[in-house]
Structure 1
């Protein structure tokens, strides 16, 4: 019988890729041919009829292949490819981070039914962690507010984002984060879309918000710089496969449509 299983191969949180920079999908026979001995193997619970897997291996140079971080692949993969690869990466992190119980220190084992680890002693369950976050594009007529985040090495301008704290709604987080990071207030908050984000393990809730009042004052810690940009005069922005890139492009399309209707 032909082996139709697909394996994502990861070493030191880097994916095995082909020479042209695409993620390599290996069969069981491919793993054996390349002398990979997986440390761990987990099913991804693919929607397809055949299971896809992620395997963790020891890092080694393989002729004809390269190792690349998922972040470096964001610009070159589709949103679906990015989400599946992100799930693979988060599964491995969950496995290695929860080999022992955080309550009693005893080893954990795979849960009999759920996608979880369970302590062999106190029976505490450990599911893959997911941190909810907001990400928002603040708009003012034909302009949108974009920021260069301190964690970004390249000068790329994106939406504002932040983690939801205990006791907060996403909308309250949005108002707080925008005020803290760039000093302005917002109104008319509306939800747009969401996206899993594997750096390290978030669920990004995407919103639009209208500028209400205040002068731009960056915090200097989370944000390096922030400016208002016209929809047709944008700087370097994130890829369309990201929720930030999608929010910005949706705004651009809306303003182009309004301008076209006004001129016709």
Structure 2
């Protein structure tokens, strides 16, 4: 690598160490028992595949959600609330939405973190949207599912199969060698910025075991001295992420998994710049390594 700075983004840092789910004094309430009919000031999340129906682009204009008074109540499903505002999922025909100022945008607009609560709500709602969409029919007998009246669950009226929201555990690993860290770029994913080693927990694994396996599979490195450094819900992929810093154990030669990664290389703290934001656990970990090294 040259001594040019390795950038994580194109703008100056705009927050402290908060991640997307850190919404300050605002209170996120996801209890199903708090569900209620929509009110005029409530917000609605409408999704279609990887798009979301919003106004604003998150850069020159903040992301804005449509309000519940623009919808038929029968087409809305209660999701959660933040403070006194409830958020609902639109379950009607997406092709019929035609609200002035709103348009279908790629859901990556929610990564803009502008404003924080709206983008956090969008991430979380998208997680539930995928769960509802992917479980319209019972995986056991194929019957169309119905909503439970007692809890957040879908029920098969034929075989009584109960389906709860899926949360997939995954790990992120910062592999260090003194003042160097391994960074990567994904091969076939929309996100093209710097990343760390990452992967899903498999059956029978602890997150620590996953970290060791993914380090070997993705870059051919053994690791030691794992140090837990945080977690994060990541609704765009239905994940709960566990972050670890680790030290390389033995050889520092990288053997890249070419099917997963376009790039994988060592970079020094000096070469890194501060991330443009810390909304993700990955950027938080890289930013902390830039500032503090292996400490967390």
- TM-score computed with the length of structure 1 as normaliser: 0.84
The alignment's C-alpha RMSD in Å is 2.6
Query: Are residue 141 (structure 1) and residue 178 (structure 2) matched?
Result: yes
Shift of 1:38: 8.0
Task: For residue 191 of structure 1, give the secondary structure of its aligned residue in structure 2.
Answer: strand
Paired residue secondary structure (1:205): strand
Which residue among 46, 64, 68 is the counterpart of 1:24? 64
Uncovered stretches (5+) of structure 1, i.e. residues with no partner: 258-264
Query: Against the structure 1 CA distance between its residues 169 and 238, is the aligned structure 2 distance closer, same or farther, given a 3 Å change threshold?
Result: farther
Residues 51, 94 of structure 1: CA spacing in aligned structure 2 closer, same or farther, 3 A cutoff? same
Instruction: Tell me the distance in 2 between the aligned counterparts of 1:227 and 1:38.
Output: 52
Cα offset, 1:84, TM superposition:
2.0
State how far apart, in whole Å, the 2-side matches of 1:116 and 1:154 are: 32
1:95–1:186 distance in 2 versus 1, CA, 3 Å: same
Aligned counterpart in structure 2 of residue 58 of structure 1, from 73, 94, 101: 94
Question: Which residue number in structure 2 is paired with residue 86 of structure 1?
Answer: 123
Contact 1:129/1:201 (CA < 8 Å) preserved in 2? yes
1:262 corresponds to which residue? Answer: none
Unaligned runs of 5+ in 2: 1-38
Compute the displacement of 1:176 (Å).
0.6
Match of 2:259 in 1: 221
- Tell me if 1:177 matches 2:177: no
* CA distance in structure 2 between the aligned counterparts of 1:72 and 1:163, rounded to whole angstroms: 24
Q: 1:238: how far off?
A: 7.7
Q: State how far apart, in whole Å, the 1-side matches of 2:53 and 2:79 are.
A: 17
Give the aligned partner of residue 40 of structure 2. Answer: 3
Do the aligned partners of 1:16 and 1:23 also contact (CA within 8 Å) in 2? no
The aligned runs of 1:116-131 (5 Å cut-off) are 116-131=153-168
